[in-house]
C-alpha cells in the first residue's frame, strides 16, 4: 500500500466524515466535535496506517463509533431538522412548507424505525455513494 499522508489522504475526508457525524448526532456542533476527535485519534494511531486496507474505511469507522457513543451518552433520540440544516437559498410558500414538513416527518419516522446498521448502510450508500464492498468493510 502506498504511504499514507495525513494532509493528502485523511484531511480531504473531513467533509464526508462531517456529513456522517451530522447524520448520526443531528447537531452541527456535536458533528464538528466528533470529526475533530476522529482526526486526532487517526493521527495518534498513525503507526497503524501501513497495515490498513482503506484509510477511508478506518476514519469512517472511528467517526461512526464516536458519534454513536455521543448520542448514547446524551441519551438523545431522533429530532427534527433544525432551521440551520434546511435549504436557505429557496424560500417556499406556506403550502410547500407544509408539504415539506410532512414529508420530512414521515422520512424521519421511517428512518428512525430502522435498525442502526440499516441506517448506516443507507447513509453510506445513498448519501456518501460508497460501494457495497466498502460498506461491508466499514460495518
Residue 94 lies inside a defined structural domain of this protein: no
CA 7 to CA 99: how far, in whole Å?
43
Q: Tell me, what DSSP letter sits at residue 45?
A: T
Residue 35 lies inside a defined structural domain of this protein: yes
Structural domain that includes position 21 = 6-79+117-138
Residue 101 lies inside a defined structural domain of this protein: no
Q: How many domains, the chain? A: 1
Residue 62 lies inside a defined structural domain of this protein: yes
CA 46 to CA 130: how far, in whole Å?
24
> Residue 25 is placed in which grid cell?
448526532
- pLDDT one-digit tens code per residue, 6-20: 888 888 999 999 999
Q: Tell me, what DSSP letter sits at residue 18?
A: H
Residue 89 lies inside a defined structural domain of this protein: no
- pLDDT one-digit tens code per residue, 33-71: 999 999 999 989 888 888 888 889 999 999 999 998 888
**CATH number of the domain that residue 45 is part of:** 1.10.1740
Whether pTM > 0.75 for this model: the answer is no
Predicted local distance difference test score (pLDDT) of residue 2? 61
CA 138 to CA 107: how far, in whole Å?
25
Residue 107 lies inside a defined structural domain of this protein: no
Residue 46 lies inside a defined structural domain of this protein: yes
Place of cell 463509533: 65
Place of cell 461512526: 64
Residue 31 lies inside a defined structural domain of this protein: yes
CA 112 to CA 122: how far, in whole Å?
12
CA 36 to CA 97: how far, in whole Å?
34
Amino acid at each position: 500500500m502506498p504511504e499514507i499522508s495525513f494532509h493528502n489522504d485523511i484531511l480531504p475526508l473531513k467533509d464526508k466524515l462531517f456529513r456522517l457525524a451530522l447524520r448520526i448526532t443531528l447537531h452541527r456542533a456535536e458533528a464538528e466535535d466528533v470529526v475533530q476527535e476522529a482526526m486526532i485519534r487517526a493521527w495518534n494511531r498513525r503507526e497503524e496506517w501501513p497495515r490498513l486496507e482503506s484509510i477511508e474505511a478506518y476514519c469512517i469507522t472511528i467517526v461512526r463509533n464516536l458519534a454513536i457513543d455521543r448520542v448514547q451518552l446524551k441519551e438523545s433520540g431522533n429530532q427534527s431538522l433544525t432551521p440551520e440544516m434546511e435549504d436557505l437559498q429557496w424560500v417556499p410558500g406556506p403550502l410547500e412548507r407544509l408539504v415539506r414538513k410532512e414529508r420530512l416527518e414521515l422520512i424521519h419516522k421511517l428512518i428512525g424505525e430502522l435498525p442502526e446498521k440499516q441506517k448506516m448502510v443507507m447513509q453510506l450508500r445513498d448519501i456518501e455513494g460508497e460501494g457495497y464492498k466498502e460498506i461491508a468493510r466499514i460495518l
